[in-house]
Amino acid sequence: MSQQQVLEKLKKYADFSQGGNGSYKAKKDDATITIHTNGKVQIQGKNKEKIEQEINEILGREEIYENNKQLFIVYGHDKIAKEQLEYILQKLDIQTAQITNNTGMTIIEALEKETSRVHAGIILLTPDDISLSKKDYEAHKDNIEGYIHARARQNVILEMGMIMAKLGRKNTIILSKGEVETPSDIDGIFRLQFKENPKEILKKLVERLEECGFVIDKENVFKAMD
């Protein structure tokens, strides 16, 4: 069924208007209904199951599009930055997954298990460690100030590489807090940098999430700004 056919069948059910990316949107009972260009229907918000059932009855089918895409978060020791990011993603109505390793598996095994069911990943690079090359130390041991750099935890860098290998660069979003040293191999990969709170880059983050295939209600973007 095409988008216009679905729209015609649902026009008496809700008041649809043109949305972004060629979609049509409507509000009903504290939920957002989106009709995508391919004719798929997505429901977000309260009373989701009730509205899905009603729309299925109208359309005579069970093809409601579930936004089941999950986002994997890799983070270090900065729990505040992690919680700030989680708050934003929660307001954007995006499901997230993290490593919960209480099964006796190694971290790598747990990560491989999680990435098998996620669509995209966010790597949160925070200045948790400091680094100094042996060469710089030997040459400037009497005054090493200016040669010490902040960097992310090494396990975060390892997991970043695994995420990129598993999900691809297009589905990997790298966020860096402050001036944090990164491997030279990712210099050509697009990164979003913020100073204190990921809210500073909310607009660009939403754009990247949409590029990864997530459908984001614009009203939820305003909620994430609070």
pLDDT tens figures, 44-89: 887 888 888 899 888 876 445 544 567 888 899 999 999 999 999 9
In order of their start, the domains of the chain are 3-65 (3.30.310.10), 70-224 (3.40.50.10140)
HSE-up (13 A, CA, CB side) for residue 41: 29
Percent of the chain with pLDDT over 70: 87
CA distance 162 to 115: 9
Exposed (0-12), middle (13-18) or buried (19+): which is 55, by Cβ within 10 Å?
buried
> For position 198, what pLDDT does the model report?
96
Q: State the angle between helix axes of 154-167 and 107-115 in degrees (0 to 180), rounded to the nearest 10.
A: 30
- Is 81 in contact with 126 (CB distance < 8 Å)? yes
With H, G, I as helix, E, B as strand and everything else as coil, classify residue 71.
strand
pLDDT band, residue 95 (cuts 50/70/90): confident
- For residue range 132-155, list pLDDT tens digits in order: 888 888 888 888 888 888 999 998
What's the pLDDT score for residue 69? 67
Q: What pairs with residue 52 in β-bridges?
A: none
| Residues in Cβ contact with 76 at an 8 Å cutoff, skipping those fewer than 6 apart | 124, 125, 126, 128, 152, 153, 155, 156
* Most distant pair of Cα atoms in the chain: their distance: 78
More confident residue, 182 or 14: 14
